[in-house]
Structure 1
Amino acid sequence: MNDDHDEFDDDEDELPQGPSKSQIKRDKLALQALAERLAAMPRAELERLKLSEATWIALDETPRIKDPRARGRHWKRIANLLEREDMEAVRQLMEGAEERERETNARHHALEGWRERLIGEGDPALADFIEQCPAVDRQQLRTLVRAAQRDTERGRPDAPRKLFRFLRETMDAVDS
C-alpha cells in the first residue's frame, strides 16, 4: 500500500506547475492599472512605444467612454492588447515617467519649503535664498515676502501664492 502512495506522489511531482489562478488575476489587474496609466499619458510619450494599431485604436477610444462599467471593460480590452506588446519598452517608459513625477514632486516640496521658511523666518531665510540664487530680483523677493507675511497673518492666500510662483520662476531660470 505504501508503494501505491509513493507512485501517486511521484505523479504529482511531474505535473506542470504554472502560475496560480490568483497570480494570473493579479497580473491581469496590474495590466489593467497599467492600461489606465498609459491612457492618461501624453500621446507624444506613448509614440515611442511603437504600439500595434489595435492598441492605438483602443487608447484613442478611451476619452469617449463615460460609463464606469464600460470603462472597466475597456481597461480589460487594453490590458489584453498590451499582453501582445513589447512590455520591456512599456516598463522603461513607465519608469521614466515615474522618475519625472518624483522629481517634480520633490521640486514642488522644496519650493513650498522655501516659501514657508521665507514667510516664517524672514530675513535669515531671505539671505539663504539669495545665496542659493544670486540672480534673483532681491527687491521683488523682499516685497513678496513681506506681503506674504501680512496675508498669512490675515488668513489670505493671495500673496503666498504669488511668492510661490515667483520662487518657481526664479528656480526655473536658475535650472535653465
Structure 2
Amino acid sequence: MLICRAATAADLAALWPLRTRAVRASCAAHYPATVIETWSASAPPASLAELVNLGSAVVAEEDSALAGFAVLDLASGEVDAVFVEPAYQGRGIARDLLRWLEVLAQGRGVQRLFLSASLNAVAFYERAGFMRVRDEVYAHRSGIGIASVFMEKVLSSACDGPVPLK
C-alpha cells in the first residue's frame, strides 16, 4: 500500500540517489548522454535539506520502501522536485505527490505554482493542470543548460476547497 507523508531529515540520504536514478532512467530519451551524466552527477543543493526541514517535502513509500519524493519552495511557489523511483513509475505516484504539494501550498496561502519541466515531464504536468508559459534553457548549477519548459498553475481559491488526495 502506498502512503505519502512529510519528508524528514532522516529521509535526506535516500532522496538524492533516487533523484539520480530517476533522471538517468526518465530523461535519457530526451537529452544527450553528456547532459544526463553532468546533470545526474551534481551534488544535492543545500536548499533540499532546508526545504525538508521547513516541512515543504513529501515522500511516497510502499511497504516501507521509498517510491518517490516531491519538494515545494513555499516562499516562491516553485515546485523544486518531483521524482519517482524508476521501478515505481507509471503508477500515479508522481500525481499523488504533486497533489500533496498543492494541498500544502493552498494551506499556506500560495496561489500559484511554477516549475521548469524537463522535456520528458511536460505532458505529465499538463495533465496535472499546469500551463506552458515558454520554452527555456534552465541554467543548472552544474554549469550546463538543460532544455525545459517553464510552466505554471493557478491554484483554486481556499473557498473552492483543497485538491483531494487519493
Instruction: Give the TM-score normalised by the residue count of structure 1.
Output: 0.22
* Higher-Rg member (1/2): 1
| Larger helix fraction of residues | 1
| Larger strand fraction of residues | 2
The structure with higher relative contact order (CA 8 Å, sep 6+) is 2
